[in-house]
Amino acid sequence: MCGIIGYIGTKKASPILIAGLLRLEYRGYDSAGISTVEKNGLSVMKDKGRVKNLYNLDGIDNLEGTIGIAHTRWATHGKPSKENSHPHLDNSNSFAVVHNGIIENYNDLKNFLLDNGYTFRSQTDTEVIPNLIHYYYTKDEIDDNYRVLRAVQKACKDFKGSFAIQVISKFMPNNMIVVRKDSPLVIGKGDKENYISSDIPAILSFTKDFYLLNDYEFALLSKDTIEFFDINLNKLDKKVTSIDWNTTAADKSGYDDYMLKEIYEQPTAIRETIGSHLPENEPCHFENLNLDKKFLSNINKMYIVACGTAMHAGLTGKLAIEHICNIPVTVDIASEFRYRNPIIDKNTLCIFISQSGETADTIAALKLSKSKGATTLAISNVIGSSITREADYTIYTHAGPEIAVASTKAYTSQVILLNILALYFAEILGSVSQEEISKMKKEILALPNKIEKALNTSTEIKKFAKKIYQEKDIFFLGRGVDYNTALEGSLKLKEISYIHSEAYAAGELKHGPIALIENGITVISVITDEKLVEKTLSNIQEVISRGAKTLVITNQTLPSNNIDEVIMVPNTNVLLSPIISIIPLQLLSYYISKEKGLDVDKPRNLAKSVTVE
């Protein structure tokens, strides 16, 4: 995910900005840039590639400005390029902006600005921001110290989506404006200087005192002062938060463990992954994915190939593609795929999923598929990774770096990306009605808020974890799409708590596994498909009658029963439900591991990226 740095003070800004960007490199990016307020106006220095490339830009050593903004970009709208890099200027070079997040209605705003004589230099959604600020600035006839602030406020009222924005302008050479909605942004308070960042760790070496902005809160900064305002520009009184973290703790943003941090980052990860693929009132979009109707109509089958958690994401993607595209899909474990002589030809599309893009088994399976004439598509979280270089096409999740070994936000990002891909295919093929597609798009856009609500189950989950953390065997049940969630929930538990667990399709209980159910054993079930409520409840009653303790994760209204614990999560389209119903299971695994005193982030015998077969 993108990173933001800002400085306003008495020192030269450019070295501080670049140093801050280097601290944000772990977030992943494809380009970087800075903008400073100089005596002759705004200076912008940017390029694609690594932050260190900025040191080689002509003139960067001559920058004297003490106010500046900086950014590392991970491409969503537009390919990685110098033109698409941040900061972005308005047409008059009067305003410079860096932005994290997604302006979902940027096409409408861009058309409005085009109609009003503005031109655009990039393919990004961000470029509408400085131009819209300029538009409102020119319409404001009150020339006072808050004119730029009012222009920024009016522009933000027009934006739909998520954003963290920094603005500098030649019209306010001693000030900077920042604002956020749904994307993180913090202000570090110093002595005659202030720092801004998307992450506390990037500026923690400069200050321990921070202002934490809430949604739609604006800050007008000088080197000596910070004024805070709400969306209506009423002044706010904000308190400083002192953070006394060591470097390791700071990297976790105050969470005890990376895994917990990453669980709670899922609303943002989903927003970032949805990105530009779901433009408002337009077809789904994947840049550089040139699969036309003729090709898709001739596909005889698809394979989704992956390992571990990514394979579980693939199982959910299979259901979405088959349901709305009417194309048969086989999900295969990468380590088994190439040893069984898979039936592949030129009319086969093979999709390979790897968070790191370096999974050896998956890369080997991809190479085999290409040798047999298949078209290959990689899904990865890492730009430029091996799998992306090998595949014919690549699409990216934008989960940001995932440090904990047990995958959480990468998994949910993969599931949402596969669902959007299914919609993309369906729109090209015309395989379902526009009404069904529109409804599903609406549900996808609502997911980040629903995930936030699912995270509120943590207190209930923590209590249940205390009851069962000493158990040796736990079983997971589900039907349909919920079976896939059960598989992933079971894997999470095994990975970080070392408790033996198994997931079964609930209807399979009576075909053998029910022999393992005995008094006091825990059985966890997932129920999100209204068509399968009665059937799944019947299976749950079978284990209750044999003395099992039961936990049910559901978004359905269940009839009166003797289930021990029911955790309610928000309802959504059944194909999307795994993204929400997995949240309590991730939390359950985490809290059980903590109760056992284990290393949550680095479970024994496991590695984050499996680069050997």
Q: Are strands 375-380 and 393-396 parallel, antiparallel or unpaired?
A: parallel
What pLDDT score does 510 carry?
84
- Six-digit token string for 42: 């705004």
Sign of CA dihedral 355, 361, 363, 367: negative
3-state class of 180 per DSSP? strand
Residues with Cβ within 8 Å of residue 302, at least 6 apart in sequence: 321, 327, 328, 329, 330, 348, 349, 350, 351
What pLDDT score does 29 carry?
74
Q: What are the residues facing 33 on neighbouring strands? A: 46, 71
The residue with tokens 């790191």 is 356
In the residue annotation, 2 being an active-site residue is answered as yes
Sign of CA dihedral 18, 23, 24, 25: positive
- Six-digit token string for 378: 């990689």
Q: What is the distance between the alpha carbons of residues 386 and 355, in angstroms, rounded to a whole number?
A: 11
The residue with tokens 């299979």 is 318
Ranges of the chain with pLDDT below 70: 1, 26-28, 244-250, 280, 384, 607-613
- Six-digit token string for 528: 């999100």
Do 243 and 204 meet the contact criterion of CB atoms below 8 Å apart? yes
Mind listing the domains of the chain with CATH numbers?
3-251 (3.60.20.10), 260-450 (3.40.50.10490), 456-595 (3.40.50.10490)
- 501-505's contacts with Cβ under 8 Å and 24+ in sequence apart are 501/473, 501/474, 501/475, 501/476, 502/473, 502/475, 502/476, 503/475, 503/476, 503/477, 503/478, 504/475, 504/476, 504/477, 505/477, 505/478, 505/479
Q: What is the distance between the alpha carbons of residues 435 and 261, in angstroms, rounded to a whole number?
A: 37
What pLDDT score does 612 carry?
44
Burial 212-236 (b: 16+ CB within 10 A, else e): bbeebbbbbbbbeebbbbeeeeeee
What pLDDT score does 569 carry?
98
Residues with Cβ within 8 Å of residue 366, at least 6 apart in sequence: 305, 350, 352, 376, 378, 387, 390, 391
Q: What is the distance between the alpha carbons of residues 196 and 180, in angstroms, rounded to a whole number?
A: 12
Q: How many CA atoms lie within 13 A of 154 on its CB side?
A: 17
Phi (first) and psi of residue 504, to 5 degrees:
-130, 145
* Active-site position among 2, 156, 284, 307: 2
CA 465 vs CA 150, 452, 461: distances in Å: 50, 20, 6
pTM score over 0.85: no
Phi (first) and psi of residue 516, to 5 degrees:
-85, -15
* Active-site position among 12, 160, 596, 608: 608
In the residue annotation, 350 being an active-site residue is answered as no
